[in-house]
Amino acid sequence: MMTNALQNIRQLSLDELQAAMKDLGEPKFRAKQIYEWLWKKSVTDFEAMTNLSKPFREKLAEKFTILPIKLYSAQHSNDGTIKTAFQLHDKHFIEGVLIPSTDRATACVSSQVGCSLACKFCATGFLKRERNLEADEIYDQVVFINRQAQESLGRNLTNIVFMGMGEPLLNYSNVMEAINKITSEDGLNMAAKRITVSTAGISKMIKKMADDGVRFNLALSLHAADDEKRNAIMPINEQNNIASLMEALIYFEQKTKSEITFEYILMKEVNDSIEDAKNLVALCKQIPNVKVNLIEYNTVEGVDLQRSSVEKQEAFSKYLSSQRVIANIRRSRGKDIDAACGQLANKMK
């Protein structure tokens, strides 16, 4: 039987899996056993489900398939960062990154193949958006990068950030389902507060997250604190201007009490003046629980943007601090392997 005629078993809920067992003439508890193998033990081969009889495993393989992502290549940075290219079942590629630090091991995962938003400073924005990732493909990235952390660092992941390829809120249902599998006691049982979803800013979806009562943290890729500048570097701002985003973020903070981070890439003579810092402070003052990550711009091939000088970065950060805004300058990791912020573009090596 052709693989594409088989049903992806990881797209079934537990209830659907129980119904499928009934159709196969199997007892209901089989569904729970399979579900545990898939989501708690992260098994991607029916043959590995050793508490199921061999005839039953064969029956499963005749009706269902599992479509795991596969390692294509891994690049190791001088600073310990590991960028991994994953091949999907339909031959598309995505990238994920393990970012180690003194007290953390962070997985940066992708949510789409390519991206449709065309932000000027981001290499992924120059790729065509091919498709959304399925929940199991997002989950697999976390499992794989966790194994990398265990092997290279001797510890488990401490944090997960949805800051890889794609816009998570344009793949809402799959991202939320993946996070459910990652945080559920029936899944990987990781703490929701250790997860941050980063968005370029889609106001109605930020409000939807609030209404859905999400427990993870939210980061907004802001990068400019006035509409004219943000329109120039982030076309999505034309449909989701700063006023609408602030309204959505205030709503999100009030409903969830979760932390909000403004991500702000400092680009020379674009958004790094003290006037820009003042505009940013004005936004921060509207939200009680907010911090700012100031990020170094990383070179993207064919883009005429430059990194702000260290002096400009420090002056910008100092001004924010003087206004009692919590701000950190994030030094980029993995630049030598194009794994730093804004550089993921499926450059296979």
Pairing type for strands 217-221 and 290-296 reads unpaired
> Of the listed 119, 122, 284, 341, which one is catalytic?
341
Here the tokens at position 86 are 């994953």
Q: How many CB atoms lie within 10 A of CB 2?
A: 6
Partners of residue 197 on adjacent β-strands? 162, 218
Q: Which one from 26, 95, 134, 263 is the annotated catalytic residue?
A: 95
d(CA 65, CA 69) in angstroms, rounded, equals: 13
Q: Is 95 a catalytic residue?
A: yes
Task: Please give, one letter per residue, the 3-state secondary structure of the chain.
Answer: CCHHHCEEHHHCCHHHHHHHHHHCCCCCHHHHHHHHHHHCCCCCCHHHCCCCCHHHHHHHHHHEECCCCEEEEEEECCCCCEEEEEECCCCCEEEEEEEECCCCEEEECCCEECCCCCCCCCHHHHCCCCEECCHHHHHHHHHHHHHHHHHHHCCCCCEEEECCCCCHHHHHHHHHHHHHHHHCCCCCCCCHHHEEEEECCCHHHHHHHHHCCCCCEEEEECCCCCHHHHHHHCHHHHCCCHHHHHHHHHHHHHHHCCCEEEEEEEECCCCCCHHHHHHHHHHHCCCCCEEEEEEECCCCCCCCCCECCHHHHHHHHHHHHHCCCCEEEECCCCHHHCCCCCCCCCCCC
Of the candidates 99, 72, 80, 215, which has an alpha carbon nearest to the alpha carbon of residue 157? 99
Two tokens, residue 215: 């427990």
Task: Determine whether 341 is an active site residue.
Answer: yes
Residues with a known catalytic role: 95, 341
